[in-house]
Copies of this chain bind each other. A is one copy, B any other.
């Protein structure tokens, strides 16, 4: 990595180049929320299989919703330098759209740091579960557009993407 900028922002997870878990001991616990989104691009066979599997007792999207909710509680297990955060609320919205499956998670906490990672983990875990259930139908399913839609609380302030920018990314691997 030769493009070093001397005045670039320091990464907070590193001190003099050594990774650490940032010390937030003295920060006050406050209400924080974050919403993340992922899209699942479905080849035709996968869409057909999903629709065929749809029924009141075991829709794949219902499985994914629960997996995502439960997955939000695993964030600190997966993200090595992430603080363990008590999730105090979580909702997921998974819908089949024309473009693909839209996965959204909103996570709340009362903690000294934010829950962006918990919301992102929730949508990723939900998307992985959808993938697992549909992978026999198509090997070309793609998870895409995983990003933060909004956050509130914390000293870095609120954040939200433009509401009309949340559609599924058009491009695919090429």
Contacts and interface: CB of A to CB of B under 8 A. Distances in A.
Number of copies: 6
B144 A116 contact: no
The residue in A45, A110, A166, A168 that gathers the most chain B C-beta atoms within 10 A of its C-beta is A110
Interface in A106-125: 108-110, 112, 116-117, 120-121, 124-125
B58 A132 contact: no
Interface of A: 1, 3-6, 8-15, 17-26, 31, 33, 37, 45, 48-60, 62-63, 65-67, 69-74, 76-93, 96, 108-110, 112, 116-117, 120-121, 124-125, 127-129, 131-137, 139-148, 151, 156, 159, 161, 164-174
Across the A-B interface, the 4 shortest Cβ-Cβ residue pairs? A8-B52, A171-B171, A23-B89, A170-B171
